[in-house]
Amino acid sequence: MARKVKETDDLPKAKLNKEALKKTTRLFSYIGEHKWKLYLGTFFLLLTGGTALLFPYMLGGLIKTIEKKEFGEINKIGLYLILVLTLQSFFSYFRVYLFVNYTENTLAKLRQAVYSHMITLPMTFFAQKRVGDLNSRMSADIAMIQDTLTTTIAEFLRQFILIIGGIILLLVISPKLTLMMLAIVPVVALAAVVFGRFIRRTSRSVQEKISESNTIIEETLQGITNVKAFANEFFENNRYKKSTLEIVRIAIQGGKYRGGFASFIIFCLFGAIVAVIWYGVVLASHDQLLIGDLISFILYSAFVGASFGGIAELYAQIQKAIGAIERVFEILDEQPEALEIHEQMPVVNRIEGNVVFQNVAFTYPSRKEIQVLKDVTINAKKGETIAVVGPSGSGKSTLVALLLRFYDPESGTILIDGKNAKDYSLTDLRNNMAIVPQDVILFGGSIKENIAYGKPTASIAEIAEAARKANALDFIESFPEKFETLVGERGIKLSGGQRQRIAIARAVLKDPSILILDEATSSLDSESERVVQEALDKLMVGRTSFVIAHRLSTIRKADKIIVIDKGAVRESGTHEQLMEEENGLYRSLSRMQTELV
């Protein structure tokens, strides 16, 4: 059977050099008060290795009682063997328990540190990283570190002790036989490891091909309407047939390799053991070795051979773990935003909401060749509704990102209540703002939890009042579980209009000074748009509101409409003023939408 491929199997390795080891030692700064468990666990590890080395020696001594006719020693040595096994079991238990204990506590602190650091990183970081990659670092990389700290390092040290201790004891028993054993057994063991690793790669290829064939099934069944509509049953059947035949080809090739590996093990590995025993018997026949010593020698040889084979794989695992540690610490080395997230921060320094964009220019760090905003100047007084319109890609959403300080302007200044936005605490600034986006993403909990995201300390009465103001209370009360209704992943159990009203309720609960509506109704049907627009109209009263609009019919009552094209402000004024512009862009966009309707 093919070995199941774990998500940690494909992690890249890191070279074991001074720089890598220096980075790795940073991990131990997270041990804290659990350091003593690591030291005590290491002590029990040494005792485990020591007692393991005692076992073959004492077993050989038991056999020698027959050769020397010291029959009175048989029971005594047998009791000592049981005592050694008991002690080894005792030491092994505490070694494993202590290593697991310190590892889990260390990794809990590491996970908390990485997560809390990651969510404070600026948007420039997330714009350059894929969510899947970050998730992999939090799961696969830390899982690899966990396996390494819990078992791999301990096992590596134990195997190292067995190799060194075993070779020393082998030399004590018979230097001649030891030299022969070292010339054969370790070489064969290492060759077996290399061969075995090659076979595992083949098994992984089979698993990957099976995964590809399963993807074909998934795609076909999900798109079965298209398959039948285009009469492509033959095409899909042929595609799946090719995939399964490829699995057969690789699996048969793997079977040949496994057959060769089985032959290798039988002939070479067992042949090496036979050679060592044969030479040991020759020495014993010439009175150069006792049979008891030969038994001890064979057991030590098995220990050393197995440890040579195992230590190569463990070394590869440690290399992967060091690579995983480096990738995790890459996140921790990123410069975070200056946020105060140690406790839930109430809105203490409330701003009025006067906003000025003063000659603002901006270019995204990942797209230096394209200037998104050019010399933009916008003046919004407290309580005004400012609508921002323009063609797709003109820079409308970038204005929102700058206002929230996801990014800072390349040049120019954003003033809030006459003060540079950079002079505000980020936490204070964002606590005074709320956004209702076009694509509302809800968390997978209850409706109550999603609304309370605007104010985590809110009472159920405050949450219900926010839902009422958002025109959401009626549909929430219609559910059997009411506010405890689970919304599903990303809010999938709710309609688009319902999700939008939950987002509005969240903004109502936050009670912001500055409200941002980023095309909040553009993806809704007419009835949902009407209900949501009513809720938005209530929400905007008394607040400075920035409305990014696609449907121009929704922003006719705005105090000021800003028309942006290719990153620059082309027109500014009320709906009536802009419609009087003979060749104006706003007038052109408005007529185009009217004709489409």
pLDDT digits (tens, 9 = 90+) for 438-496: 777 788 788 888 888 878 888 888 888 888 888 888 888 888 888 888 877 767 778 77
Report pLDDT for 17: 63
Are the C-beta atoms of residues 87 and 49 closer than 8 Å to each other?
no
Q: Binning pLDDT at 50, 70 and 90, where does residue 4 land?
A: very low
Q: Could you tell me if 388 and 407 lie in one domain?
A: yes
CATH of the domain at 70: 1.20.1560.10
Calculate the dihedral angle through the C-alpha atoms of 434, 440, 444, 448, rounding to the nearest 10 degrees. Answer: 50
Report pLDDT for 13: 54
Strand order from edge to edge, sheet including 419-420: 373-380, 355-362, 411-416, 419-420
Nearest alpha carbon to residue 273 among 382, 146, 177: 177
CA distances from residue 222 to 172, 227, 240, 241, 493 in whole angstroms, order as listed? 69, 10, 15, 19, 19
Pairing of β 544-548 and β 385-389:
parallel
Report pLDDT for 341: 59
Q: Could you tell me if 154 and 19 lie in one domain?
A: yes
Mean pLDDT of 406-418: 87
d(CA 254, CA 29): 45
Q: Is residue 398 part of a domain?
A: yes
pLDDT higher than threshold 60 for residue 38: yes
Q: Could you tell me if 408 and 544 lie in one domain?
A: yes
Q: Is residue 295 part of a domain?
A: no
How many Cβ atoms are within 10 Å of 573's Cβ, its own excluded? Answer: 16
Q: Is residue 346 part of a domain?
A: no
Q: Could you tell me if 167 and 185 lie in one domain?
A: no
Quote the Cα angle for 347-352-358, to 5°: 115
Report pLDDT for 345: 53
| Out of 15-24, 215-224, 384-393, 444-453, least confident range | 15-24
Q: Which long-range contacts (CB under 8 A, 24 or more apart) does 143-146 make?
A: 143/7, 143/8, 144/8, 144/11, 144/317, 144/320, 144/321, 144/324, 145/27, 145/107, 145/110, 145/321, 145/324, 145/325, 145/328, 146/103, 146/104, 146/107
Q: Which residues of 61-72 are buried (b: 16+ CB within 10 A; e: fewer)?
A: bbbbbeeeeeee
Report pLDDT for 521: 66
Q: Could you tell me if 110 and 186 lie in one domain?
A: no
| Out of 48-52, 337-341, 379-383, 442-446, least confident range | 337-341
The larger pLDDT score, comparing residue 40 to residue 31, is at 40
The chain-wide mean pLDDT, for the chain, equals: 78
How many Cβ atoms are within 10 Å of 189's Cβ, its own excluded? Answer: 21
Q: Could you tell me if 146 and 57 lie in one domain?
A: yes
Those residues whose C-beta lies under 8 Å from the C-beta of residue 231, and which sit 6 or more positions away, are none
Report pLDDT for 2: 38
Q: Could you tell me if 128 and 229 lie in one domain?
A: no
Nearest alpha carbon to residue 137 among 324, 374, 12: 324
d(CA 366, CA 374): 17
Q: Is residue 420 part of a domain?
A: yes
Q: Could you tell me if 390 and 492 lie in one domain?
A: no
The one-letter code for the residue type at 45 is L
pLDDT higher than threshold 60 for residue 597: no
Those residues whose C-beta lies under 8 Å from the C-beta of residue 161, and which sit 6 or more positions away, are 46, 49, 50, 53
d(CA 294, CA 181): 12
Q: Is residue 128 part of a domain?
A: yes
Q: Is residue 293 part of a domain?
A: no
Q: Could you tell me if 258 and 385 lie in one domain?
A: no
Where do runs of H (alpha helix) occur along 483-557? 496-510, 526-540
Q: Is residue 262 part of a domain?
A: yes
Pairing of β 373-380 and β 355-362:
antiparallel
Mean pLDDT of 524-550: 76
The larger pLDDT score, comparing residue 356 to residue 209, is at 356
Mean pLDDT of 94-112: 84
- Tokens 């990389």 locate to 141
d(CA 593, CA 588): 9
Those residues whose C-beta lies under 8 Å from the C-beta of residue 286, and which sit 6 or more positions away, are none
Mean pLDDT of 412-424: 87
d(CA 260, CA 199): 10
The one-letter code for the residue type at 508 is V
Q: Is residue 548 part of a domain?
A: yes
How many Cβ atoms are within 10 Å of 341's Cβ, its own excluded? Answer: 12
Q: Could you tell me if 179 and 117 lie in one domain?
A: no
| Domain interval for residue 164 | 12-173+318-337
d(CA 391, CA 589): 8
Q: pLDDT tens digits for 130-156?
A: 776 777 777 777 777 877 787 788 888
* Counted domains in the chain: 4
Helices 526-540 and 460-469 sit at what angle, rounded to 10 degrees? Answer: 120
Are the C-beta atoms of residues 576 and 383 closer than 8 Å to each other?
no
pLDDT higher than threshold 60 for residue 5: no
CA distances from residue 24 to 18, 29, 34 in whole angstroms, order as listed? 10, 10, 18
Are the C-beta atoms of residues 563 and 572 closer than 8 Å to each other?
yes
Give the count of alpha carbons within 13 A of 298, CB side only: 20
Report pLDDT for 99: 84
Q: Could you tell me if 282 and 204 lie in one domain?
A: yes
CATH of the domain at 470: 3.40.50.300
Q: What percent of the chain has pLDDT over 70?
A: 88
Give the count of alpha carbons within 13 A of 85, CB side only: 9
Q: pLDDT tens digits for 309-352?
A: 677 677 777 777 787 888 888 788 878 777 665 555 555 578 88
Q: Could you tell me if 493 and 359 lie in one domain?
A: no
Report pLDDT for 489: 73
State whether residue 425 is helix, strand or coil.
coil
